[in-house]
Chains A and B, each alone.
Chain A
Amino acid sequence: MIFATVGTQGHFDRLIRTIDGWAGANGRTDVFAQTGPSDYRSEYIRTERFIDATEFRERVEAASLVISHAGMGSIITALELGKRIIVMPRRASLGEHRNDHQLATAKRFADQGSITVAYTEEDLIERLDRLQALNETERLTSPASPHLISTIRGFIGSGRAVADRISYNSAENGNAE
């Protein structure tokens, strides 16, 4: 099962059209795409304009591969559920977004090594061909940084605890004197 998603903010037909074509050429009938506000009529893949958050998670969970725009919701959910993800950033020059921040996001994540980035349609087809040949299904794991969690937890707990500690200590000092 392949799940493609472009988020809710605008259509991204360049991505959907490429996947549709690839699915047709490879006889894949197990591709589902969330297309956003798009009028593109797909030939080979099933589509839905919008799906709710619960179905979104279920779709990612059921997929062996996620293909998406460089939106954080898609990237994080895929990585969180240990799924392989190919990301194609929206381009401002093609009217797909207000600016090219998706390009920057995609590059950073690609540098981290956690995602695969397809910068062009040809790129995407090549990546899909390669992954299909490998047919890898093992999960990747990626917990949130324990240090980040402990920083926030410490901050929430400590403000109060530190204040108490300070007053306790000064009371203690007062008694000692």
Chain B
Amino acid sequence: MLRDPMSDGNSVPEISVPLRGVRPKVLAVSSGGGHWVQMMRIKHAFDDCDVTFVTVHESYRAQVPDNQFYLVNDANIRTKLDLLRAARRLAWIVWTVRPDVVISTGAAPGYLALRFGRLLGARTIWLDSIANAEKLSMSGDRIGRSADLWLTQWPHLARPNGPHYTGAVL
């Protein structure tokens, strides 16, 4: 900062040139319905990334024709067997994709994906669903603390150590 503007101007490309060639790999995982719709609402945040979407309905594929797309079975805390199946599938997906960042809008499959992503060194983002207006989701409450970026969509649910509020998908 104390250098003269000329050399400062020269140093900028030196930093950004290697970065420009490397598009971060993002793994975006969501369940169906509102979770998926919310993921679609924020997909422009991944414009400069190689994005792989993972969700639970084949019919969603048409909404992201230019991206990698994987299916996972839906699951929740009450269906242990489905949870195991989803875990196996997501472990394989995370292992194959090797994402730099894993992001989820919920619910259980996203929780699992963040766990596996973290194991392989990915940075993680949990955007708690806007449907959780009174309290955080079960998945969010469990995974949020270990996510690198933990967001809620309601200002009254934000806490100093997370979740943070910086806006909503609507």
Contacts and interface: CB of A to CB of B under 8 A. Distances in A.
Contact of B170 (A101, A142, A149, A156): A142
Interface stretch (A22-30, A72-80, A116-124): A72-80
A105 B45 contact: no
Contacts of B19: 160-161, 164
Contacts, number: 134
Interface of B: 11, 14-15, 18-19, 22, 24, 26, 32-38, 41-42, 44-49, 57, 59-60, 62-63, 100-101, 103, 123, 125, 127, 129-134, 148-149, 151, 153-154, 166-170
Interface of A: 7-8, 52-54, 71-77, 79-80, 101, 104-105, 107-109, 112, 114, 142, 144-153, 155-157, 159-161, 164-165, 168, 172
Contact of A151 (B11, B33, B129, B151): B151
Contacts of A144: 41-42, 44, 167-170
B41 A80 contact: yes
A161 B14 CA distance: 12
A164 B15 contact: yes
B42 A72 contact: no
A40 to B, nearest CB: 22
25 contacts: A73-B34, A76-B38, A79-B170, A101-B131, A101-B132, A101-B134, A104-B134, A105-B133, A108-B134, A108-B154, A144-B41, A144-B168, A145-B168, A147-B167, A148-B45, A148-B151, A148-B166, A148-B167, A148-B169, A149-B45, A152-B149, A155-B125, A156-B100, A157-B24, A168-B15
